[in-house]
Copies of this chain bind each other. A is one copy, B any other.
C-alpha cells in the first residue's frame, strides 16, 4: 500500500468499509476509488489487494460474483451478513486506535 508504514493493518478495514458504502465493487475499482478519495496519497498495490480479497472471501466476510464487461473479467465483491458485522467491529477498532494514538502523541490537531 501507500508510502507510510502506518497503513499496515488497515487494508481489510478499508475494503470492508468501501463495500459497505458502495454495495459491490471489483478489485481494480477499489484501488481507483482509494486513490481518488485520498487524492493519490494512498495507492493500494495489487500484490496487497488481491490476496486480501481472497482472504476476506475465505473468511466468509465477502461474496464474489464474476461478470464479463466489455470482454473483460471482473470479480464483484460484496459483504456477507458476517462481513457487515465485522465491518462495524473494524470501524470501532479504528476509532479506538485513532483516539489512542491521538492521546499518545498528545496531538494538537483534530479531525
Q: Collect the chain B residues with CB atoms within 8 Å of residue A42's CB.
A: 100, 104
Cβ of A109: which chain B residues have Cβ within 8 Å of it? 95
Interface of A is mostly: helix
- Select A94's contact among B6, B9, B12, B18, beta carbons within 8 Å: B6
Please state if A17 and B106 are interface contacts (CB–CB under 8 Å).
yes
Distance in angstroms between the alpha carbons of A8 and B13 in the assembled complex: 14
A91 interface residue (CB < 8 Å to B):
yes
Residues of B contacting A37 with CB < 8 Å? 100, 103-104
A-B contact pairs, 23 of them (CB 8 A): A4-B9, A4-B97, A5-B8, A6-B10, A6-B94, A8-B8, A8-B9, A13-B105, A17-B106, A18-B104, A21-B106, A34-B104, A37-B103, A38-B103, A42-B100, A91-B107, A94-B101, A94-B105, A98-B101, A98-B102, A99-B111, A102-B111, A110-B111
Given contacts A13-B101, A91-B105, A94-B101, 4 further A-B contacts (CB under 8 A): A8-B9, A17-B106, A37-B103, A98-B111
